[in-house]
Amino acid sequence: MRSKQQAQNLIKILQYVYGYVEVRLGDIASIVRGNGLQKRDFTEEGVGCIHYGQIYTKYGMVAEKTISFVEESLAEKLRKVEKGDIIFAVTSENIEDLCKCVVWLGEDEIVTGGHTAILKHNQNSKFLAYYFQTEAFHSQKRKLATGTKVMDITATKLEEILISLPPLEEQQRIVDILDRFDRLCNDISEGLPAEIEARQKQYEYYREKLLNFKKL
């Protein structure tokens, strides 16, 4: 059984030859479940924290600051999140929201709690987060999720998800394009509803194209 480092070395070779390679998330990252943390644990100051419910309601794709904190004594018992890590909400009442994620780009280490999974990796965080919005990701997620009224996906199942992974330079190029398109969509957010909807559909179309390498 090859080590994760051997797998990553092989990935780099295949990227050099073919431009991208289809890999398991578990080959490029480690995924751990969060633990503890309830809203009643929040304090006015202390160590920054992200509760799984806030990923659905309070955060966008990227965060550099938290809106909640916990005491340092509790933070020592919780899962740590470092700059570049991605936090998934892995419990949801509907399949569409399951695995919504936020990239942590703050300088300080923070913590998270139960019903989350933390993705630690050495890829482009925003590229991965954009990929996790694609139909290629969602179609696999639907097959791996369990539950009826409350949906859940385990860290082990997340590791099995396949992702098309280009070299880091290409990841950054794609991120730059999607970032510009995202800003453009936000600039017209106060326009006519039909125009906003059309631009959003256009954005989603190009995101799928950019991140579906088999069809390029």
Residue ranges making up the domain that contains 86: 2-165
Residue 215 has a pLDDT of 44
Domain of residue 85, CATH code:
3.90.220.20
Q: Are residues 26 and 115 in the same domain?
A: yes
Residue 102 or 180, more confident: 102
Sign of CA dihedral 70, 71, 74, 80: positive
Q: Are residues 82 and 9 in the same domain?
A: yes
Q: Are residues 160 and 111 in the same domain?
A: yes
* Burial class (CB within 10 angstroms; exposed 0-12, middle 13-18, buried 19+) of 154: middle
Q: What does the alpha-carbon distance between residue 9 and residue 15 come to, in Å, rounded to a whole number? A: 10
pLDDT tens string 51-85:
999 999 999 999 999 999 999 999 999 999 999 99
State the amino acid at position 27 in one-letter form: D
Phi-psi sector, 18: left (phi>0), alpha (psi -120 to 50), beta:
alpha
pLDDT tens string 148-189:
899 999 999 999 999 999 999 999 999 998 888 877 766 655
- Report the mean per-residue pLDDT for the chain: 87
Is the pLDDT confidence value at 139 over 70?
A: yes
Q: What does the alpha-carbon distance between residue 106 and residue 111 come to, in Å, rounded to a whole number? A: 12
Mean pLDDT of 210-214: 71
